Structures are given as C-alpha cells and as structure tokens.
Amino acid sequence: MRIIGIDLSETSNKTQLEPIFKTNSSSKLTMEIEILQRPDCAIAKIKLAAREELIAEAGTMVAMSDNINASTTLRQGKGGGVLGGLKRLVAGESLFLSVFRSPVAGEEIFLAPKFLGDIVHYPVPKSGLVVQASSYLASSVDVDIDLGFQGFKSLLSGESIFWLNISGQGDILLSSFGAIYEIDVEDAYIVDTGHIVAFEKSLNFKITKPGSSWLGTFLGGEGFVCRFEGRGKVFCQTHNPAAFGRSVGPMLPAR
C-alpha cells in the first residue's frame, strides 16, 4: 500500500480528514480508496482502473457509476464454490459475494458496512489475516477468502465460532461496530473477544479468563478474553455488538 497523501490545506473547514490510498495488485491495475466520514459512519469511496474488479460483501453497495458492471458469485479464493457459499451462510454471512467491474478507468463505487462504525484499509500481510466474519467489507481480486472454524476456542467465548482466513496478495477493507484501532503486539496482549475485528496470523491466541479466578470472571461480567502471543497487529473495535444487542434487546417491542 502506498499513501498518496492527505491534503491538510483543505481541512480547516472540515471535521474529518480524508486519507487517500492507491493499491498496487499483481495485475498492475491501480484502485484508489478514500475513507470518508470516519469513525462513526464511515463509507468507502473506491475509484477503479479500467477492467479492474472489486469483491465485496453482498448488500454493502451504496452507490456507483452507471458504467460499472455488477454481478454475484459463490467463488472467491479457497472458500469458493457452493461449499464456500454454504460455509459463509452457516457463519451468518451472505451466501453470495458481489463483484464490481469497471470497463473504463475512473469509475467509482461507494461501500458501507451494516453496522454504524469505522472502515480501515489494510494490505494483506504475507502471514495472512484472520478476520471476524461480520467485519469483512471488500477486497481486491488477488485476495483469497476462506471460512475457518475456530472450534471450541470461540464457542467458549460466546462469540462467533467462524472466522475468515484471508491470504494472497492484495488489499482488504475491514469494518467495525464503532471506531477501529490497532494494537502492535510484541510479546503478549489481552483483548476482549467481542472487540476483535481481525489479527495477523503471525500471532498465536487462546481463549482464557481475564483474571486469576473463574468466579471473579463470571461475577464481574467481563466474560472471556483472547490472549495473543508473538509479534503482529490486532485490530479492535470500540463497541461489542453482542453486548449492545443484550442491552437494547429488552427495550424493543415484542414481535
């Protein structure tokens, strides 16, 4: 990823800085990504090169140029085909992925996540990336997406037991509930399981209790945490979707 720049001369009358990035894929096509209205109601503006394609979670397109061709697919990387689509469906994601292709240079598309929150643009590291299934927004065509089962590690935490394994060369857009912030882990670090957006595969992790006592864990209402070890990045979100749902659920009228 190459940062093209942030024009500070025009920010005096704006409340948000608008970073612009250009991505270079193996196909030597270049898309330009701009994240607007961060961090509470972020939307991604993506300008495509001629014949360039973008893969996105179904239902995230807000607006686009008239010339862009839109289609759906079950196939993307190692998680492709009918089996890959069914795995995404089991994880609570859409059965399909959307594909957007620009026939000419300069056509643009706007994408936004389902939750109120932030978007971050990140080049996929060589080690790969593990992403909370609901945090995937979009990626370039050189990125492989596979649904991984985290087994009883995640089941015990009360969070999603399915995570996306991201690999390949390219760029990915991650979304969150609330703002996204990143942590550089150099040895060991603890994060609440409901606040994890993604982490690099160079990190090892295990689900554990936040304190020394299981009784204190349950009485304190902290739940389970994820202990990361090694060196790499963890992306976190400021709000926990499950905790938010439990808070507002009893206030909603019965259906």
| CA atoms of 77 and 63, how far apart (whole Å) | 26
Of 32-36, 76-80, 167-171, which has the strongest mean pLDDT? 32-36
Query: Given pLDDT bands bounded at 50, 70 and 90, which one contains residue 134?
Result: confident
176-191 residue pLDDT tens:
999 999 999 998 999 9
CB neighbour class for 54 (10 Å; exposed up to 12, middle 13-18, buried from 19)? buried
* pLDDT surpassing 90 at residue 54: yes
Q: Quote the mean pLDDT of the chain.
A: 77
Q: Which pLDDT does position 89 carry in this prediction? A: 54
**Pairing verdict, β 196-200 and 129-132:** antiparallel
CA separation (Å) from 143 to 10, 22, 166, 230? 34, 16, 7, 24
